[in-house]
Chain A
Amino acid sequence: MNIFRLAGDMVHLLSFVVLVLKINATKSCRGISLKTQELYTLVFVCRYLDLFSNFISMYNTTMKIVFLGTSFAILYLMRGHKVIKVTYDREQDTFRYLFLVLPCALLALLIHNAWTPFEVVWTFSIYLEAVAILPQLVLLQRTQNIDNLTGNYVFLLGLYRGLYILNWIYRYFTEPHYIQWIVWISGIVQTILYLDFFYYYIKSWKNNVKLALPS
């Protein structure tokens, strides 16, 4: 494992910490898209189907369990916690799941590395992760007064995939035959979706003003 991969995973982990911190400290999930959170949970469930059948390392297994556990915990907070669930922006969070899930499922059926249930479901998770942030980005654009933790959360999510791209470049040059077109292209698409957000995030940080996305 290289430093970019480790940094990417740690940033990803930190994004969960920031999100849980925001929700718990403010007892509010205002500005957080439940749809994006549900899609991420679906992504992890589909990607880690081999959790118990394919052991790579203690690190991998632990991280997978943490990601799954945290995702379900966030869903519980947003849907089941009696104080927090009333703060959810239901009327604003209107993105349709099917617009993302259906094309990703079709694409996974068409473009994959192997025609096995595990592989197709895994590929679906890669495609879905690339676009799962869209409901959150749409909600951010509609939210006035984005709080710092929400902005930081989305920034960390984007940074994580950016660091993974550096990790793939590193692996390409250091590992023989390391080619993963599906993952690379999806990861690049995923990172590109954040570029607009990055621009406004960094601008607000440099000018020391509150983050606001133009609608």
Chain B
Amino acid sequence: ATSQHEHDEL
């Protein structure tokens, strides 16, 4: 998975 779809920010 790319970081684009991880949504690791609030």
Binary flags per residue of A87-116, CB closer than 8 Å to B gives 1, else 0: 000000000000000000000000001100
Q: How many residues of chain B have a CB within 8 Å of chain A?
A: 9
* Residues on A with beta carbons closer than 8 Å to the beta carbon of B2: 177
A120 to B9, CA, bound (A): 16
Q: State whether the Cβ of A148 lies closer than 8 Å to any Cβ in chain B.
A: no
Contacts of A137-152 to chain B: CB distance below 8 A:
none
- B5 contacts A67, CB within 8 Å? no
Binary flags per residue of B1-10, CB closer than 8 Å to A gives 1, else 0: 0111111111
Contact of B10 among A9, A54, A179 (CB under 8 A): A9
- A60 contacts B10, CB within 8 Å? yes
Contacts of A152-174 to chain B: CB distance below 8 A:
164, 167
Q: State whether the Cβ of A185 lies closer than 8 Å to any Cβ in chain B.
A: no
CB distance from A174 to the nearest CB of B (A): 12
CB-based closest 7 A-B pairs: A56-B8, A63-B10, A178-B3, A113-B4, A9-B10, A180-B4, A122-B7
Q: How many residues of chain A have a CB within 8 Å of chain B?
A: 24
21 contacts between A and B (CB under 8 A): A5-B9, A9-B10, A12-B10, A54-B7, A56-B6, A56-B7, A57-B8, A60-B8, A60-B10, A63-B10, A64-B10, A67-B10, A113-B4, A113-B5, A119-B5, A164-B9, A175-B3, A179-B4, A180-B3, A180-B4, A183-B9
Interface centre among A113, A119, A180 (most CB of B within 10 A): A180
Q: Find the A residue at minimum CB distance from B8.
A: A56
A167 to B9, CA, bound (A): 10
Contacts of A163-207 to chain B: CB distance below 8 A:
164, 167, 175, 177-180, 183
